[in-house]
Chains A and B, each alone.
Chain A
Amino acid sequence: AQSVTQLGSHVSVSEGALVLLRCNYSSSVPPYLFWYVQYPNQGLQLLLKYTSAATLVKGINGFEAEFKKSETSFHLTKPSAHMSDAAEYFCAVSPYTGANSKLTFGKGITLSVRP
């Protein structure tokens, strides 16, 4: 069984400040890990993914995440927030093996960016 925990439902940062969105996972097998972003009334867009290669993963829009097996974490960061980063962010996990790669999502975190 797999699960994802995203602590807190809302994070607010000032424009230009560091963005840190936390994600912890539980998985009985080596996982694939993902961060998705959802803008209002839109579908999910993949930001980045971890697939057992490099532990530091770089994604789109300046985001990156680090896989830490010992901490079972995959936190998302961005050095400098931009107003356009305001959205909802979901961390997700899927099984490492098998064709059935159904995603288990966290509850999501809403990021607000203050001018």
Chain B
Amino acid sequence: NAGVMQNPRHLVRRRGQEARLRCSPMKGHSHVYWYRQLPEEGLKFMVYLQKENIIDESGMPKERFSAEFPKEGPSILRIQQVVRGDSAAYFCASSPGLAGLNEQYFGPGTRLTVT
């Protein structure tokens, strides 16, 4: 029973490039959350998606960041024209989304370094 999978685990991008982070939820989970962990800080919520729908993107920066969770395939967090301040660990979590059972299971994270 595989857990939440994220790839790549480490990603290095130069300023101005694009970063694509992938998240495959646990089997049977249809809800995905993305969080960002900046150095010396806790995790901050970015976006919550269900299959083919963005439900809550209140934590997403207004520009350059986008997320999707297609009917088939992993969820993607995309960062365009990366800047040094985007360097962080990005975690996704999945849950079954059932009422009262909202425990989230976290992936190992993608550590993005912008040079």
CB within 8 Å of B: which residues of A?
Answer: 32, 36, 41-46, 49, 51, 90, 92, 94, 99-108
Contacts and interface: CB of A to CB of B under 8 A. Distances in A.
Given A44-B91, A100-B55, A51 B43 contact: no
B108 interface: yes
Nearest 5 interchain pairs by C-beta? A101-B102, A105-B42, A44-B106, A43-B106, A43-B108
13 contacts: A43-B4, A43-B106, A43-B108, A43-B109, A45-B106, A46-B105, A101-B95, A102-B59, A103-B35, A106-B42, A107-B41, A107-B42, A108-B41
A32 B111 CA distance: 28
Interface of B: 4, 31, 33, 35, 41-45, 48, 55-56, 59, 91, 93, 95, 97, 99-100, 102-109, 111
B42 A94 contact: no
A7 B92 CA distance: 26
Contacts of A46: 103-105
Contacts of B56: 100, 102
A103 B43 contact: yes
A78 B15 CA distance: 45
B100 A51 contact: yes
Nearest to A108: B42
B67 to A, nearest CB: 13
A43 B34 CA distance: 12
